[in-house]
Structure 1
Amino acid sequence: MALIDYFIRRPEFDIFDMTVDHLAGVARIHAALFKPAWSASEFHALLLQESVFGFVARQNNAASGSAMGGFVLTRSAGGEAEILTIGVDPRYVRVSLGWRLMQAALGRARQDGAEAMFLEVDQANVAAQALYRRLGFRKVGERKAYYKPSGPDAAAGGADVLRLDL
């Protein structure tokens, strides 16, 4: 361990049910990761639906306040669940927040009686693809030009449709 490790506090996070109080932070993280981004009111409209639930990761050892590190929003109905969106604040990558948020969503989906979880993931998102493979998801389909281009010279990107039997 390097000397600097003794002086830098590593962020630690707890996972909580998403509430309306979290939506400004959720929208901020979503805007940093996705174009077009969803607004806090769009997240609110989804969260009001009976079949939709979410989780947030909040830092428990911040010097001031409690920074939000990430979120996942999920829908569960009719024996199936789907990840609507998930995001980890770029400041907190590589601290297993994606894994922990997915574990929370998978656990809740199982509790709700879901037998399978689905999601779409950008084919260019190598980190997310690796996370979902480690969780046991497998590719069951593809959506061409699913993600809108983010720049004037960018092309629309495809998405893989993934499934995990619960």
Structure 2
Amino acid sequence: MNAVLRPMQENDLPRVMEIERAAYPFPWTLRLFKDCLQVGYNALILEQEHLIGYGLMSVAAGEAQILNLCVHPDWQGCGYGRYLFEHLLDLARQKEVKSVFLEVRFSNEAAIHLYHQTGFNQIGVRKRYYPKGDKKREDALIFAMDFL
């Protein structure tokens, strides 16, 4: 894979927002991305000639939380999401966390499959967590993996 990973910088945010809007019907806000950078969360950019994806993870008290992982829809299904995800897990191991957590939409079958393949287990459900449209909400599945 010829993709390059590097730290996210504030000047990446216009392209990050383009990808966020292309990938999600209810995207994160620019302010949320800026706040993540400001507090020092682990924020990575994935480039393949140009920015095609990103991942954000917080680490505290021996735990990591994968907050956002996204690859532009034109590049999905090519292994880039897995590549970025596995790199975030390696980073969590380097930081000696004991557990990694994440949430995923109930309807995101591709992501759920990836999480199962990489050793995550579903540990719960957050009812009506994600906006779905028409004032409806969708459940989030909570996944975790412990590092031994």
Which of 6, 9, 14 aligns to 1:16? It is 6
Which of 16, 20, 28 aligns to 1:30? It is 20
Q: Which residue in 1 is equivalent to 2:115?
A: 132
Bigger radius of gyration: 1
Query: Structure 1 vs Structure 2: percent identity of aligned residues?
Result: 29
Runs (5+) with no aligned partner, structure 1: 1-10, 60-65
Matched, 1:102 2:92: no
In 2, the alpha carbon distance for the partners of 1:12 and 1:83 equals 24
Which of 14, 39, 45 aligns to 1:56? It is 45
In 2, the alpha carbon distance for the partners of 1:45 and 1:119 equals 19
Q: Which residue in 2 is equivalent to 1:163?
A: 144
TM-score (norm 2): 0.91
In 1, the alpha carbon distance for the partners of 2:124 and 2:61 equals 20
In 1, the alpha carbon distance for the partners of 2:86 and 2:9 equals 18
TM-score (norm 1): 0.82
Runs (5+) with no aligned partner, structure 2: none
Q: Render the CA deviation track for 1:69-123: whole Å, top value 9, x for unaligned.
A: 1111100000000011111100001111111111111111112221110000111
In 1, the alpha carbon distance for the partners of 2:139 and 2:80 equals 25
- CA RMSD, aligned part only? 1.7
In 2, the alpha carbon distance for the partners of 1:149 and 1:40 equals 20
User: Residue 28 of structure 1: CA displacement?
Assistant: 1.4
User: Residue 155 of structure 1: CA displacement?
Assistant: 3.4
Task: Please give the secondary structure, in 1, of the residue aligned with 2:107.
Answer: coil
Q: Which residue in 2 is equivalent to 1:86?
A: 69
